[in-house]
């Protein structure tokens, strides 16, 4: 081999190795930003994600039109779409809606969503306008809904209200005042009633039900920890600190094995097993510099973020 071809060969190997270790894709949004939570439907289509202008979008793949409008949560946004599309203004969030946590009902194919301003809602498999399920508890409207998960056996929904004092657009104040008025709540699918399970949480955020349904987890963003609330057994109805984390946790999602992916805001994906042991930590900074959710789907990690304008794939 001459010097030139040796050089090319080395370059080729280097590029091949480099590209392999950087298995990174970014799916840019059409407009707006902040794809906070991610879900796939019954047939594996998606990701679906809720963004800053109030829309919930579905990714159909590059060859099938890219992102399509799937649903909206705010009544205003249904009729006056053009006022909202592409908005990243916090002042428009209440008007246009701000869909955050998403979860699929695996039986019916409905998608459940918590809108930070408009309450707990459900969207049929065909999309369109989300239908409200609950917007208050004990007569007091929710203030800042954020995360949810569903018990896929009985249909009960667990969700968080981050603060009783501040709305999502004021989330900086939840942090700076060290607000501890966050709550974990339950929507009973039979009685349609909401009950408060835990009060006094610090920036209550992501929610995940365990695979065996014996407990539900809730992240406390400003305490770098996750609490476990028992749903059965000797400790039923009590809670405890489940794991302390190396940063501020946002959403938490269970994978098919029964382990959990926790998104740490400064772009760490942390995998925790069912007993609360950290079993993997992945730095995903190269895909997204700030993340809100890690959703495992067919061997890949889909990364949501409230700050940036793409969905990351790792
Ligand atoms: C999911 O769908 C099934 C079948 O329609 C229903 O029985 C169940 O209550 C639903 N889950 C929720 C969370 O509503
Ligand atoms: C757990 O306690 C709740 C009330 O706090 C009760 O409704 C439920 O049936 C109990 N679950 C089990 C499995 O014991």
* Cα three-residue angle 45-47-50, rounded to 5 degrees: 130
Whether residue 144 is contained in a domain is answered as: yes
34: tokens are: 């902040």
161 vs 143: CA distance, rounded Å: 7
Closest ligand to the CA of 134: 1
In the predicted model, residues of the chain with pLDDT beneath 70 are 1-23
The pTM of the full predicted model, rounded to 2 decimals, is: 0.91
Question: What integer pLDDT is reported at residue 80 of this predicted model?
Answer: 79
Token digits for 78? Answer: 């249904």
Domain enclosing residue 245, as ranges = 33-256
Token couple for 164: 């009783």
pLDDT of 22: 52
Atom of ligand 2 nearest to the CA of 230: 1
The domain total for the chain is: 1
Q: Is residue 291 part of a domain?
A: no
Which residue puts its alpha carbon closest to atom 14 of ligand 1? 155
Q: What is the pLDDT of residue 198?
A: 98
Q: How far apart are CA 249 and CA 3, in angstroms?
A: 52
Residue 290 within a domain: no
> How high is the pLDDT of residue 88?
95
Question: Which residue, by CA, sits nearest to atom 2 of ligand 1?
Answer: 108
The answer to whether position 10 is within a domain reads: no
27 domain residue, yes or no = no
Confirm whether 23 is domain-assigned.
no
Q: For the chain, how many residues are written? A: 314
Q: What is the pLDDT of residues 95-115, one digit of tens each?
A: 999 999 999 999 999 999 999
Residue 190 CA: which ligand is closest?
1
Answer yes or no: is 301 within a domain. Answer: no
- Give the per-residue pLDDT at 9: 46
Q: What is the CATH number of the domain that holds 173?
A: 2.120.10.30
- Which residue puts its alpha carbon closest to atom 11 of ligand 2? 232
Residues forming beta bridges with residue 104, ordered by sequence position: 111
Residue 187 lies in a domain: yes
């Amino acid at each position: 081999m001459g010097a030139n071809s040796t050089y090319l060969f080395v370059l080729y190997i280097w590029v091949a190795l480099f590209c392999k270790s950087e298995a990174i894709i970014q799916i840019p949004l059409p407009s707006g930003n902040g794809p906070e939570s991610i879900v796939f439907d019954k047939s594996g289509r998606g990701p679906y994600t809720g963004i800053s202008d109030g829309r919930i979008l579905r990714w159909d793949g590059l060859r099938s039109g890219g992102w399509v409008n799937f649903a909206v949560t705010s009544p205003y946004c249904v009729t006056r779409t053009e006022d909202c599309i592409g908005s990243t203004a916090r002042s428009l969030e209440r008007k246009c809606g701000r869909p955050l946590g998403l979860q699929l009902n695996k039986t019916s194919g409905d998608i459940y969503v918590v809108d930070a301003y408009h309450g707990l809602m459900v969207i049929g498999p065909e999309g369109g306008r989300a239908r409200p399920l609950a917007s208050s508890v004990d007569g007091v409207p929710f203030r800042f809904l954020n995360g949810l998960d569903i018990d896929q056996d009985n249909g009960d929904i667990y969700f968080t209200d981050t603060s009783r004092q501040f709305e999502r657009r004021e989330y900086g104040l939840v942090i700076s005042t060290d607000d501890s008025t966050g709550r974990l709540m339950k929507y009973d699918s039979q009685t349609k009633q909401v009950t408060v399970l835990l009060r006094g949480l610090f920036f209550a955020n992501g929610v995940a039900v365990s695979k065996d349904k014996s407990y539900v987890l809730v992240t406390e963003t400003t305490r770098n920890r996750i609490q476990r609330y028992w749903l059965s057994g000797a400790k039923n109805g009590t809670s405890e600190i489940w794991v302390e984390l190396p940063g501020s946790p946002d959403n938490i999602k269970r994978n098919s094995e029964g382990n959990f992916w926790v998104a740490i805001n400064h772009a760490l994906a942390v995998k925790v097993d069912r007993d609360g042991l950290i079993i993997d930590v992945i730095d995903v900074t190269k895909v997204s510099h700030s993340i809100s959710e890690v959703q495992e789907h067919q061997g890949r990690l889909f990364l949501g973020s409230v700050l940036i304008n793409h969905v990351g794939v790792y």
